[in-house]
Structure formats: structure tokens, C-alpha cells
Amino acid sequence: MKISFAAEKTLGKLSKWLRILGFDALYDPEVNGGEFIDNVQAGRILLTRTRRVQEKHGSSSLIFIRANDPFDQLREVINALGLKFEDTRPFSRCIECNVSIEPIEKESVRNRVPDYVWDTQENFQQCGRCRKIFWPGSHTQRSMERIRRLFESGVGEKVDKNALE
Ligand SMILES: [Zn+2]
């Protein structure tokens, strides 16, 4: 199942969460919400908080977001699509650029990451667009825990709200 999203400009944090889960989530804070969504290619699921947009596009490929909290918004998307943890690929995408990150040779990052990271980590990945380097760190562990809880807890149950730092 290949799922991709286009979120309007008020849903920046939700977009980042979707990217953390590995989904292609288009988001442009520079463009007006309705205008942006008009330009979206077919096939993306539109995420909106604007009634006007909802009325215009119907409900077939659109999720109307009600919650204010980004993590609750993420829950709305997961529930609406019936997503399972197996549908996600956490930490496979650059949160800033929305492109997949790729493995990179350890040798080539020697002077580009802190010494303690180079000494303790074996697996590195890089964003092809911004060149940022990623490795499995403590932040990843914490976020992964939150993601797991998100999929384990039942509908309507509250989860940790301070997940996006
Ligand atoms: Zn990037």
C-alpha cells in the first residue's frame, strides 16, 4: 500500500509526524491552503482543517482534521485509514525535505558527525537533498516508543502529547 498525503499550511507538525512514520507528506507553508490543495496531483490524500476545501473535494480522498494537537491529528489520520504499524516505515524519510534517506558509507561521514557518534555508531544514512546525516540515536528510541504506543492504544485513548520537539 503506497499512501501519500498533501497537508494544508496549518498542519505542519502533523506533516512532520507523517514523515517520521515514513509517509510522503507534501506540505508548503508558503502557499495558501486552498490554493495549494488545488495544485496537488491526484492520488494524494488531502489533509485539511478548512470546511470550504472539504465541501469542494468531498470525502473520497480527503481527511478533515478536527483535533488541535498534532499527535491527536496523527491519530485521526491513522484511524481514518485504518493504518497499522506494519504500514509505516519510521525514520526512513528526511523530516525537512520529505524525501527518502539512503544508507551511506561510515568512512565518508567521519568529519561530518560528532566524534562520539562516529565512535559508537555503525549505520549512517543521508538525505539526498539537504545532505543531513542520520544515525540511530536516543531521540529515535524515544520517538519509536511513542509511535508504538500510538498504534497499541485504543481509539479515543490519550497518548503522550509532547512527542514533537
Ligand atoms: Zn533533507
Distance 19 CA to ligand 1 centre (A): 11
Residue 76: what pLDDT? 96
Confidence of residue 59 (pLDDT cuts 50, 70, 90): low
Tens of pLDDT along 85-97? 999 999 999 999 9
Distance 153 CA to ligand 1 centre (A): 31
Residue 127: what pLDDT? 95
Share above pLDDT 90 across residues of the chain, in percent, rounded to a whole number: 55
pLDDT, mean of residues 117-143: 89
Query: Which residues surround the ion ligand 1 when the cut-off is CB under 5 Å?
Result: 94, 96-97, 127, 129-130
Distance 128 CA to ligand 1 centre (A): 7
Distance 155 CA to ligand 1 centre (A): 33
By DSSP bridging, strand 101-104 and strand 45-48 are unpaired
Residue 126: what pLDDT? 95
Centre a 10 Å sphere on the Cβ of residue 43 and count the other Cβ atoms it contains. 10
For cell 470550504, name the residue: 52
